[in-house]
């Protein structure tokens, strides 16, 4: 079973420290440990010293979980302590995205970039083709440098190394994307005009709440200044209770002497919370008109307050779910522990942090200061650097000793004569090599110039020749005297002509990039359909052999062009079943591209000064693999009637009365005709062959045929002689 190293996700909340340890096994996260350390006081209480409470909680955490000192640790910061912006860059090369983001950061971040820690990432579903970002969205995340260091101070105090700093709303998105939206994101298909339904996740904190709206591909988030403490303060204010008693009463409202009084007291806060959610969702819908919200997911321990979830769902008209379980988090030994089960809604952020540490989260940005990462990198490389320097010094010392030993046993004057002869021979050799290089360079230049001069004329004709060949292969009817009959003389549904509306070409350095599995499958389907329509194979043996040849087809390779024709035809009369729609294209157009020939001039003249032509098949021209790209059905449409006379469309009589449309003049022709039209896309592959190459190939084939005929005749003569 493939597994990864464990990662800790730690969230320092206002009421407790939440930590979750996970590892990755076969693509699923597995919980291996957790900790939940509640502070004696809430950090926001006036008498609480937050630094001391956090320090005590971290010490207690490390006493229970020593592995956090050696394993990867990811921590979160509140959403309101950072900045998250999402923007759509213009279509640009991917490598230039960083420059655009830097410019956007200067515009969006209201501080000097030197005082800010920031990072960015392209969101999932961004369309990138051939190195260009066409339809994309970029997330920009930032936090003030002093705020980042303040968040890391408690961990530095206990020598706990933090690898990732992430904002809590982003961690919630990572959790939701992995746990609930993974199948949607794996498809990696995002249509901005028809986006998938969005999910609202509401994380109710102690003093504030984070609201995130996401469909997996796009995110919108907002922090709301209302949280669980507002319910407690409302009870403290109206019932004249201490904060501790009010907090206890809030958590156990159903067990109170008068539960109705408790809920009535907290009702204004319920209303304020629902109002904030409605405002947030309403604002989101105003900026994204196409968004559809499917459900609302609530996290945080405040959701354990009786009636909260049902009240929000009833007033918002949304399906509300409490996030008290995680679909893709395994490890029942941990998940079934009562402490974890009771506080499961508050571990969503820690779960998202673990996913980022394990490398399976959608957003991998981090707000760790760069100078800290540099210091860690230098510290990690120091032992290796020292070992390398030591090895280098030892090697240099041994080398010096060996050189000294060799030098002490040799004399310079012993080798002077031999070295002089070697130098002379080397100079002689270098002179010849230099002269040979000059001559070879000149020969290469002359060959290139000769090829350029002799081959330029043929290259100019290649496109003219292939266009002529393609034009000749497109089926069309030769009408007498070149006059196209009227719709009455020959209805459109009986016209076999195929009309081409546009021609596009694309060059491939290797046509194997075009010959994908989908194209291969489509090509095989079309060849089988063509054989069926044209009755190419009478016997089952011939059909089996044909299908085997199709399956063995490896497709084109090397440089070449894919020529795409956008076409249509009207030959779709249901009475001509078997020859209409796509079958009509296969019977005439595919057959034509497979079997037709074209006469082309060879560039030579006969005795009378006339151009000598040569007949080539399309395959000899390099035109292969005709492919009907889509198998559509004909659709009813209207086209202008060429026989229509506008002057006959008199809608009013001279006396002002309307003419009966059911009693139109004899021979009246309507302005539009109802026809069945099939639009289709057709592709062919063209690998360039000059006229010289084609003529040489034909001559080679002719000589081979003559040799084969001579050999056959000789064999027949030998057999006849032997029989006599």
**Average pLDDT of the segment spanning 430-451:** 87
Whether 660 shows a pLDDT value over 60: the answer reads no
Q: Does 156 or 543 have the greater pLDDT score?
A: 156
Whether 651 shows a pLDDT value over 80: the answer reads no
- First vs last C-alpha separation in the chain: 79
Count of all residues that appear for the chain in the document: 724
Helix 228-239 vs helix 243-251: crossing angle, to nearest 10:
120
DSSP one-letter string for 407-443 = HHT--GGGSHHHHHHHHHHHHHHHHHHHHHHHHHHHH
pLDDT at 155: 92
Alpha-carbon torsion 505, 510, 513, 514, what sign? positive
**Average pLDDT of the segment spanning 646-668:** 55
Average pLDDT, the chain: 86
Which range is least confidently modeled, 35-39, 176-180, 402-406, 674-678? 402-406
pLDDT at 236: 86
What span, in angstroms and rounded, lies between the C-alpha atoms of 373 and 138?
24
- H-type helices in 588-665, by residue range? 591-595
Whether 655 shows a pLDDT value over 80: the answer reads no
The string of pLDDT tens digits covering residues 293-345 is 888 999 988 888 888 888 888 888 888 989 888 999 999 999 999 999 988 99
The string of pLDDT tens digits covering residues 379-409 is 778 888 888 888 888 888 888 888 777 766 6
Label residue 600 by pLDDT band (50, 70, 90).
Answer: confident
The string of pLDDT tens digits covering residues 469-513 is 899 899 888 888 878 888 888 899 988 899 999 999 999 999 999
- Identify the CA nearest to 100 among candidates 115, 130, 120: 120
Torsion of CA 245, 249, 252, 258, to 10 degrees: 140
Q: Which residues of 100-110 are buried (b: 16+ CB within 10 A; e: fewer)?
A: bbeebbeeebe
Task: For the full predicted model, state whether its pTM sits above 0.95.
Answer: no
Q: Does 185 or 433 have the greater pLDDT score?
A: 433
Q: How far, in Å, are 131, 611, 623, 705 from residue 701 at the CA level?
A: 44, 23, 18, 6
pLDDT at 458: 65
Residue with tokens 């090509």: 523
Label residue 266 by pLDDT band (50, 70, 90).
Answer: confident
Label residue 571 by pLDDT band (50, 70, 90).
Answer: very high
Label residue 561 by pLDDT band (50, 70, 90).
Answer: very high
**Average pLDDT of the segment spanning 187-207:** 85
Label residue 1 by pLDDT band (50, 70, 90).
Answer: very low
Structure tokens at 39: 């502070």
In DSSP terms, which residues pair with 167 in a beta bridge? Answer: 77
Q: Return the DSSP state at 300.
A: S
Q: Give the count of beta carbons closer than 10 Å to the beta carbon of residue 10.
A: 25
């Amino acid at each position: 079973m493939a597994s990864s190293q464990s990662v800790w996700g730690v969230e320092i909340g206002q009421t407790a420290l939440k930590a979750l340890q996970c590892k990755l096994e076969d693509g699923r996260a597995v919980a291996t440990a957790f900790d939940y350390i509640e502070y004696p006081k809430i950090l926001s209480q006036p008498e609480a010293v937050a630094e001391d409470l956090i320090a005590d909680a971290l010490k207690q955490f490390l006493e229970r979980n020593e592995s956090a000192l050696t394993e990867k640790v990811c921590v979160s910061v509140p959403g309101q302590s950072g900045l998250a912006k999402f923007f759509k860059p213009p279509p640009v090369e991917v490598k230039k995205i960083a420059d655009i983001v830097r410019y956007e950061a200067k515009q969006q971040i209201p501080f000097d970039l030197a005082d800010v820690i920031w990072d960015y990432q392209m969101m999932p579903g961004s369309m990138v083709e051939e190195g260009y970002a066409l339809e994309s969205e970029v997330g920009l995340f930032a936090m003030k440098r002093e705020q980042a260091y303040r968040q890391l101070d408690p961990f530095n105090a206990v020598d706990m190394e933090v690898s990732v700093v992430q904002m809590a709303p982003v961690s919630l998105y990572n959790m939701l994307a992995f746990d609930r939206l993974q199948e949607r994101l794996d498809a990696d298909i995002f249509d901005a005009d028809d986006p998938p339904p969005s999910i609202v996740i509401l994380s109710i904190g102690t003093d504030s709440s984070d609201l995130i709206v996401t469909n997996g591909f796009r995110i919108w988030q907002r922090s709301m200044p209302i949280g669980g403490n507002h319910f407690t303060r409302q009870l403290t204010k109206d019932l004249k209770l201490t904060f501790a008693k009010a907090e206890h009463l809030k958590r156990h409202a159903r067990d109170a002497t008068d539960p109705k009084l408790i809920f009535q007291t907290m009702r204004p806060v319920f209303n304020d919370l629902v109002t904030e959610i409605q405002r947030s969702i309403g604002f989101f819908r105003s900026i994204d008109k196409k968004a559809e919200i499917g459900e609302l997911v609530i996290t945080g321990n405040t959701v354990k307050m009786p009636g909260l979830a049902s009240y929000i769902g009833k007033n918002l008209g949304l399906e509300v779910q409490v996030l008290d379980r995680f679909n893709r988090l395994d490890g029942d030994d941990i998940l079934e522990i009562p402490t974890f089960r009771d506080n499961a809604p508050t571990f969503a952020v820690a779960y998202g942090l673990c996913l980022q540490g394990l490398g399976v989260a959608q957003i991998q940005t981090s707000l760790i200061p760069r100078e800290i990462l540099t210091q860690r990198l230098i510290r990690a490389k120091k032992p290796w650097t020292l070992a390398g320097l030591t090895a280098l010094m030892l090697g240099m010392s041994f080398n010096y000793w060996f050189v000294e030993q060799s030098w002490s046993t040799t004399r310079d004057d012993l080798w002077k004569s031999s070295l002089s002869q070697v130098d002379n021979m080397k100079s002689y050799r270098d002179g010849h090599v230099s002269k040979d290089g000059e001559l070879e360079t000149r020969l290469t230049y002359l060959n290139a110039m000769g090829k350029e001069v002799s081959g330029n004329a043929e290259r100019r004709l290649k496109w003219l020749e292939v266009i002529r060949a393609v034009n000749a292969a497109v089926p069309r009817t030769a009408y007498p005297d070149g006059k196209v009959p009227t719709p009455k003389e020959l209805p459109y549904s009986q016209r076999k002509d195929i009309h081409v509306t546009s021609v596009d070409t694309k060059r491939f350095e290797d046509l194997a990039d075009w010959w994908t599995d989908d194209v291969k499958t489509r090509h095989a389907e079309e060849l089988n359909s063509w054989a069926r329509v044209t009755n190419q194979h009478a016997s089952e043996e011939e059909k089996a052999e044909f299908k085997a040849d199709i399956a063995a087809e490896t497709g084109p390779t090397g440089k070449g062009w894919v020529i795409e024709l956008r076409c249509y035809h009207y030959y779709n009369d249901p009475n001509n079943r078997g020859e209409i729609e796509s079958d009509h294209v296969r019977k005439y157009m595919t057959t034509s591209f497979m079997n037709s020939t074209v006469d082309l001039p060879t560039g030579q003249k006969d005795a009378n000064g006339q151009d000598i032509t040569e007949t080539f098949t399309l395959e000899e021209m390099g035109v292969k693999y005709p492919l009907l790209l889509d198998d559509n059905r004909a659709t009813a449409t209207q086209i202008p009637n060429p026989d229509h006379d506008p002057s006959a469309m008199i809608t009013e009589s001279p006396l002002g009365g309307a003419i009966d449309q059911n009693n139109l003049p004899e021979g009246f022709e309507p302005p539009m005709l109802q026809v069945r039209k099939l639009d289709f896309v057709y592709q062919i592959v063209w690998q360039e062959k000059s006229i010289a190459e084609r003529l040489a190939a034909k001559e080679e084939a002719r000589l081979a045929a003559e040799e084969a005929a001579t050999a056959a005749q000789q064999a027949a003569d030998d057999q006849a002689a032997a029989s006599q």
